[in-house]
Structure 1
Amino acid sequence: MHVELAPNGPRLSAVIAGLWRLADWNLNVQDRVRWIEEALELGITSFDHADIYGDYRCEALFGEALKAAPHLKDQIQLISKCGIRLCSPSLPYQLNHYDTSPAYVRGQVEASLQKLGVEKLDLLLIHRPDYLLDAGELADTFSALRDEGKVAHFGVSNFTSSQFELLDQRLPLATNQLELSVLAHQALDDGTLDQCQAKRIRPMIWSPLGGGRLFSGQDEQACRVRQVLEELAPAYGVSVASLAYAWILRHPAKPLPITGSGRLAALKEAVAALGVTLSNQDWYRLWVAARGHDVP
């Protein structure tokens, strides 16, 4: 289940476990250890964090589990993101804003390593495009962190193709973490997935189930898509959720979806999608349901 994210890039599991809701799962330390073990048993070895998740708490919660079961460190790949200064009662920020300055990026990497209780991140992403990003300075910071053995590989999240190219020209990037689901198609049309194919990098995909809208949304788009998913799923022998993941996996950019649930059943549904290949017609049937019109 391990795949190379980019030429000479990190090897990650084909499905990645997302931790942005970890603080809401109300798991004690041993429950967190068991959850990691259950993910590993499914072949999910890569875990996606960000410094701001859970009001800056999720990395520390995960780190407590690794401290309780240190043997897990050698079996997993850790991904984190930084670059957003998020307002919090413990911080003096007057508004949410971005910061990709060398001092801030380095400080957040150091904080992530400390909270997770590890010496190196396998992959560090800039969380959102920063209008004040200095590509040369950031590339130099990345190179220094790599040389110091604190981060193995680098990428970005939510970058446009031109923003990606600006930084990639200075230091090759391993991925662009993008939003994509049967309900959210921007990456299909804005050139970011095309760029991934051109550069032979595999995008990571956040919100692959539309933030739950696929199951509970009552808007016209969600209802249309859900109806088609429910019609098609039995023919493929999988759940609606698995088929929604399979729709993403069918794209030739070979995306890696990021789950967002603490439920073991939800992780199993994501893994089950790896064995499903949608036909072109069924993929476009879901595209049509989402767009509300036929192909041009």
Structure 2
Amino acid sequence: MNELLAQQKMNKTKISTPIQGCMTWGKWGANFATKAYQQQIEVCLDLGVSTFDHADIYGGYTTEAEFGKALAEMNLQRDSFQLISKCGIQMENFRENATKHYQYDAAYILKSAEQSLQNLQTDYLDVFLLHRPSPLMQVTEIQKAVAQLLQQGKIKGFGVSNFNIQQMALLQKVVSIDYNQIQIALTYSDSLTNGLLDYMQTHQIQPMAWNPLGSYFKSITPKLQKSVQKMATKYKATEDQILLAWLHKHPSQIIPVMGTTNSNRVQSAKESTKIQLELQDWFVLWEAARGKQVD
């Protein structure tokens, strides 16, 4: 086991900041044709955004294969980009499923990983995540599959998504966790106070943030908007950049997963890494989002 964990840490791939999320590239959003996939990949790579986040379910189990077809035609060096995928969600009305559920037996995890490799037309995934925790997951089954995938070089890093402290602790009894993709944003910051990010730092689990802009552009409050706009003026930045800079300030090294297909917003997200918020400015924003001062 120790030898396997050492191999996992050694093979761990550097992930770009931000990560480009691909959930809306296919049938669940932009419905890109092959050429559009290629153009969007090129834009990301030109900006230094080299990590692409997938899940088997995206586009009703279709987006990975569309992305893989586009990628294969580009003849890129494999070490010039990184691929993330997730498994475990069985969607209703697909694959003869009568209801939506989670599945994490070893055979299914191995099959899902192999399918993602085939869809993405690659020999390995840089990161492989369990998409949602299941109350029925048996950690020995997960360990069996992850160990095999690591030993075969089919995944370089392993992690989870949306797991809480107890669920991670249970799984860590048998396998090392490199990443946890969680919901965190200025307008959704529970993980700063419920111990989740503290636990992840203690155990060297790097957070990825899905929906890193939170609800700011959907249900903004006047106080928060005023504070963000004031910071945007001070730091010569856009509002979305301030929201991301707030995440970057956290010592756990949160990596935002950007779901946009707008190249200007991808560039804006990349440039946000240069913004260093002052300590009190970080707390001003948090206070405005929470509606109260710290205790």
Fold match (TM-score > 0.5): yes
Q: What is the aligned counterpart of 2:112 among 84, 108, 123?
A: 108
Per the alignment, residue 98 of structure 1 pairs with 102
Task: Please list the CA deviations of residues 80-128 of structure 1 after superposition, one character each: whole Å capped at 9, or x if unmatched.
Answer: 001111124x432122111111121111111111111111111100011
| Residue type at the aligned position of 2:18 | V
What's the C-alpha RMSD, in Å, of the aligned pairs?
A: 1.7
CA deviation after TM superposition for structure 1 residue 150, in Å? 1.6
Q: What is the aligned counterpart of 1:79 among 84, 104, 122?
A: 84
CA deviation after TM superposition for structure 1 residue 279, in Å? 1.3
Aligned length: 286
Find out whether 1:27 has 2:21 as its counterpart: no
Q: Matches of residues 1-296 of structure 1 in structure 2 within 5 Å? A: 9-23=12-26, 24-71=29-76, 73-88=78-93, 90-210=94-214, 213-217=215-219, 222-296=221-295
Per the alignment, residue 4 of structure 2 pairs with none
| Partner Cα separation in structure 2 for residue 242 and residue 6 of structure 1 | 31
Structure 1 residue ranges without an equivalent (≥5): none
SS in 1 for 2:206: coil
CA deviation after TM superposition for structure 1 residue 27, in Å? 2.3
| Residue type at the aligned position of 2:242 | L
CA deviation after TM superposition for structure 1 residue 192, in Å? 1.5
CA deviation after TM superposition for structure 1 residue 72, in Å? 5.1
Task: Please list the CA deviations of residues 44-81 of structure 1 after superposition, one character each: whole Å capped at 9, or x if unmatched.
Answer: 11111001112111111211211221225341110000
- The verdict on how the C-alpha distance between 1:277 and 1:163 changes in structure 2, with shifts beyond 3 A counting, is same
| Partner Cα separation in structure 2 for residue 27 and residue 223 of structure 1 | 36
Whether the 8 Å contact between 1:6 and 1:200 is mirrored in structure 2 is: no
CA deviation after TM superposition for structure 1 residue 10, in Å? 2.2
TM-score w.r.t. the length of structure 1 is 0.92
Task: Please list the CA deviations of residues 203-228 of structure 1 after superposition, one character each: whole Å capped at 9, or x if unmatched.
Answer: 11110011xx312325xxx4432221
- The verdict on how the C-alpha distance between 1:234 and 1:6 changes in structure 2, with shifts beyond 3 A counting, is farther
Whether the 8 Å contact between 1:29 and 1:68 is mirrored in structure 2 is: no
The list of structure 1 runs, each at least 4 consecutive aligned residues, that deviate by more than 4 angstroms after superposition, is: 5-8
Q: How many percent identity over aligned positions?
A: 34
| Partner Cα separation in structure 1 for residue 10 and residue 180 of structure 2 | 14
TM-score w.r.t. the length of structure 2 is 0.92
- The verdict on how the C-alpha distance between 1:7 and 1:204 changes in structure 2, with shifts beyond 3 A counting, is farther
Structure 2 residue ranges without an equivalent (≥5): 1-7
| Residue type at the aligned position of 2:217 | F
